[in-house]
Structure 1
Amino acid sequence: MQDIPIEPVRGRPVAAETTTGPNGLSRTLILALGTFAVGTDAFVLAGFLPDLAAELDVPTATAGWAVTAFAAAYALGSPLLATATARVPRRALLVTALIVLGVANLASAVATTFWLLLATRVLAAVGAAAFTPNAGAVASALVRPEARARALAVVVGGLTIATALGVPLSDVLGEWLGWRSALAAVAALCLLAAAGVAAWVPSVPAGPRIPLAARLSVLRNRTVAATLPLTTLGMAAAYVVYAYAVPAFEALGIAPSSTAWVLALYGVGAVGGSLSSGYVTDRWGATRLLTVGYLVMAAALAIMGALAATHAQVASLAGPLAAAWGAASWCQTPAQQHRLIEAAPQEAGLVVALNASCIYLGIGAGTLLGGIAIGRGAGTMYFLGAALAAASVVYLRATAKRVTPGPLAPVPASGRP
């Protein structure tokens, strides 16, 4: 789903039986359960936004702010939390982050006002931003060096599966029992994962403290600085419509009770796009892949916009178009990560962490724009997403040829530029 930034772990080595024994890789499964909970929580509200809006007495467009608040808090909080918690032992940090995420979801489930819900979504984002990057770092420390790629694939798999299954299943649960029950289920999953990490994951020392100024100094690399805005723009295009999936699909003839199945097809497309992106990037290059991906996204959203605007409710087309939209949305993440690491190979952990922040910044911006557009009809919302996808192609082609990697300016030991 999203890239997991990996930071080095410094201090006492993990016990030998942890890194070389047969259980090292299996222990990453509990970390994948945590990333599955995080991935589900990030977009769980999309499946029942109108119900939430009606119960808390706010317009549907305003209810979308709950998704925006989570995404924005994650984007802005991730680098700050990475700096503030650098010296905290990793297992304790992971357990605490999951407990915070679980408690925040319980608070969201019992929120009596929309503003209280917003506050709890921000708190949930804090837990998610503390857990996800460190889950990747711990997974890489639990196994032998030759198994690290598999360990990271397991952890990232939790996020990917959440896109395909977590959100649709939550939508089904919300349809049966209400949106509060869906949030409570996510909370239970988070607390279960916290207990599993505490019981099953061995102690891993804290990593080195990297000052915030040092983390941001990589932006002096001209290619990195030019590449990161594309992540935000592309994810904004992908998520203009997603948070408002129920009214958006209803305009295509999909009943609210059937939204989960269309979201599941979106998820299948997202998984396929994410998994194939690395192979295609290696074979044909990131720029070609991204160009095709953004064009497919623009076309899928434009077709859905035309169907919605003309009231041509062809429900049979919604599923394939949603799958194409999902594939195009999530094929961009591995390709962008590849471009960034290629531009700054010595700062891979930092650029991937910044890319993760830009992903959530784009999700927040896209959701905010979708809330503004939905008042003008679902067709307008679809067309806005298509326009942003087309703009992503223009930006990509304009920057891919002009910008070449530039050296990083040295950063003093103090971390000040």
Structure 2
Amino acid sequence: MSDTIALHLDGAATTSDSPAPDEAAWGASTWFAVLSMAAASFALVSAEFLPAGLLTPMARDLGVSQGVAGQVVTATASVGAVTALFSNVLIGRLNRKTVLVGLSALAIGSNILAALATDFWWLLLGRAGLGIALSGFWALSVAVVARVAGVNSIGRGMAIVTLGVSLATIAAPALGALISDWLGWRVAMAMTAGLAALAMLLQALSLPSLPATTSNSLSDVLRLTRRRGIQLGMLAILLLMTGHFAGSVYVRPFLEQVALLPTVPIALALLGFGIAAVVGNVAGGRLADANIRMALVTTSALMGLAAFALVLAGAHVAVAFIFVTLWGFAFGMAPVVLPTNLSRAAPDALEATGSLMVVSFQVAITIGAVVGGYAVDTYGAIAPLTLTAILAASTVVLALLQRRS
């Protein structure tokens, strides 16, 4: 990018304690700073996905149905979607390091409150606090990575940060279930507070001071939506992530009903999905920095191909395993490629762009879950994956409409 763009970046290199390094010049301090962000993402997302492994004992202990207990996930996502629009407005001109450390502290308190909850409403309150911490962290993530790692290393930096997401997605539900069986669901919930405390310590020690260089207003955030690049970037998130969450939630029913797989092979297929997502995460960071347009085309094309192949030939076990794994690889690329793509449309307003990014993701998750649920109930297990293929193909077309970079 040009020097002009670099100087207009939210917190350009010259405003922090030390110059933001280019990719080739990453030193120990840069690595520690980025890894502290990855630790925070792992802690936050582990807490977000933990209820998937705790639902039965949690519902039984609090005296509610499993369907009601499942709303703790809805509470986190819905509060996060609303908070994302206002997070960068409310923090004003606070030092961004202070904000990130404070968000980790909020996650600690929220997880402790959830672990000690004596009724369902206290649990919901704790989960709402986690939603605020999650949305605030992700809204700032791209801008902070750009400041500590360099403008030209956003893809690489975000790949490391979102690696925490991939690992948490794999580990949190399974480990949560095991720990809850051994020690109880409250202990499992409390352990996420410990992860957040470790992340907070790492951020306090590793992040440089990040003085605010701008104070966003809601009108500033909304004004960005007039830019064609922002519109296309948000639409890409909505299309691809709506498609992903519409289909991925129902991969297990598909493998059970279409591929006729028993429990153990299904678990192995989902493990392959998770491992491939980690690999895709790294690949996505490299490709995003090299050619963001091609990265978006590749990500959406691979996801569409995987879903389409499963719809056509998923009854064959080998096909099911191969293309569930390919889907995982594409999904691993998406959390890196989509935010990087959106940030390229507004390098002068990365914090405000981060808010729009979080809102887009949360809306996509909500729509995907609702539409996917309707599709599987109405048309069967193949329908959600068909929707995934269609929306991923639409994202390929959208990516081709974007300017080359």
With the shorter chain as reference, the TM-score category is: 0.7 to 0.9
Listed as ranges, the gaps of 5+ residues in structure 1 are: 1-5, 308-313, 406-417
CA pair 92-302 structure 1, distance change in 2 beyond 3 A = farther
The structural deviation recorded for 1:33 is: 1.4
The structural deviation recorded for 1:172 is: 3.5
Q: Provide the C-alpha distance between the structure 2 equivalents of 1:154 and 1:343, rounded to a whole number of angstroms.
A: 22
Hey, what does 1:46 align to over in structure 2? Answer: 52
The structural deviation recorded for 1:322 is: 4.3
Give the length in aligned residue pairs: 386
Hey, what does 1:254 align to over in structure 2? Answer: 263
Q: Secondary structure at the match of 1:209?
A: coil
Hey, what does 1:37 align to over in structure 2? Answer: 43
Q: Provide the C-alpha distance between the structure 2 equivalents of 1:236 and 1:38, rounded to a whole number of angstroms.
A: 22
1:161-182 Cα deviation digits (max 9, x unpaired): 3234444433443444343332
Hey, what does 2:391 align to over in structure 1? Answer: 392
- C-alpha contact (below 8 Å) 2:50/2:189 kept by paired residues: yes
The structural deviation recorded for 1:208 is: 0.8
From 258, 263, 268, the counterpart of 2:275 = 268
Q: Which amino acid aligns with 2:132?
A: V
Hey, what does 1:120 align to over in structure 2? Answer: 126
CA pair 17-217 structure 1, distance change in 2 beyond 3 A = closer
Q: Provide the C-alpha distance between the structure 1 equivalents of 2:57 and 2:254, rounded to a whole number of angstroms.
A: 14
- C-alpha contact (below 8 Å) 1:163/1:270 kept by paired residues: no
CA pair 89-327 structure 1, distance change in 2 beyond 3 A = same
Q: Which amino acid aligns with 2:386?
A: A
- C-alpha contact (below 8 Å) 1:294/1:328 kept by paired residues: no
Listed as ranges, the gaps of 5+ residues in structure 2 are: 1-7
Matched, 1:358 2:360: yes
CA pair 15-390 structure 1, distance change in 2 beyond 3 A = closer
Hey, what does 2:93 align to over in structure 1? Answer: 87
CA pair 99-272 structure 1, distance change in 2 beyond 3 A = same
Q: Provide the C-alpha distance between the structure 2 equivalents of 1:160 and 1:87, rounded to a whole number of angstroms.
A: 32
CA pair 270-49 structure 1, distance change in 2 beyond 3 A = farther
The structural deviation recorded for 1:122 is: 1.7
Hey, what does 1:224 align to over in structure 2? Answer: 230
Q: Secondary structure at the match of 2:263?
A: coil
CA pair 327-178 structure 1, distance change in 2 beyond 3 A = farther
Matched, 1:198 2:204: yes
Hey, what does 2:4 align to over in structure 1? Answer: none
Hey, what does 1:293 align to over in structure 2? Answer: 303
Hey, what does 1:409 align to over in structure 2? Answer: none
CA pair 373-94 structure 1, distance change in 2 beyond 3 A = same
Q: Provide the C-alpha distance between the structure 1 equivalents of 2:13 and 2:374, rounded to a whole number of angstroms.
A: 49
1:230-245 matched pairs, under 5 angstroms: 230-240=236-246
Q: Provide the C-alpha distance between the structure 1 equivalents of 2:98 and 2:59, rounded to a whole number of angstroms.
A: 36
From 183, 186, 206, the counterpart of 1:177 = 183
Q: Provide the C-alpha distance between the structure 2 equivalents of 1:49 and 1:244, rounded to a whole number of angstroms.
A: 18
Q: Which amino acid aligns with 2:275?
A: V
Matched, 1:97 2:96: no
Q: Provide the C-alpha distance between the structure 2 equivalents of 1:27 and 1:241, rounded to a whole number of angstroms.
A: 35
Q: Provide the C-alpha distance between the structure 2 equivalents of 1:327 and 1:348, rounded to a whole number of angstroms.
A: 27
Q: Provide the C-alpha distance between the structure 2 equivalents of 1:61 and 1:319, rounded to a whole number of angstroms.
A: 30
1:313-328 matched pairs, under 5 angstroms: 322-328=324-330
- C-alpha contact (below 8 Å) 2:43/2:195 kept by paired residues: yes
- After TM superposition, the structure 1 stretch with the greater mean CA deviation from structure 2, 82-91 or 197-206, is 197-206
The structural deviation recorded for 1:294 is: 2.2
Give TM-score scaled by structure 1 length.
Answer: 0.74
1:371-382 matched pairs, under 5 angstroms: 376=377, 380=380, 382=381
Hey, what does 2:167 align to over in structure 1? Answer: 161
CA pair 393-53 structure 1, distance change in 2 beyond 3 A = same
Q: Provide the C-alpha distance between the structure 2 equivalents of 1:31 and 1:190, rounded to a whole number of angstroms.
A: 11
- After TM superposition, the structure 1 stretch with the greater mean CA deviation from structure 2, 351-360 or 237-246, is 237-246
The structural deviation recorded for 1:100 is: 0.8
Give TM-score scaled by structure 2 length.
Answer: 0.76
- After TM superposition, the structure 1 stretch with the greater mean CA deviation from structure 2, 38-47 or 392-401, is 392-401
- C-alpha contact (below 8 Å) 2:89/2:217 kept by paired residues: yes
CA pair 363-191 structure 1, distance change in 2 beyond 3 A = same
Q: Provide the C-alpha distance between the structure 2 equivalents of 1:331 and 1:229, rounded to a whole number of angstroms.
A: 17
Q: Provide the C-alpha distance between the structure 1 equivalents of 2:396 and 2:13, rounded to a whole number of angstroms.
A: 44
Q: Provide the C-alpha distance between the structure 2 equivalents of 1:319 and 1:386, rounded to a whole number of angstroms.
A: 15
Q: Which amino acid aligns with 1:254?
A: T
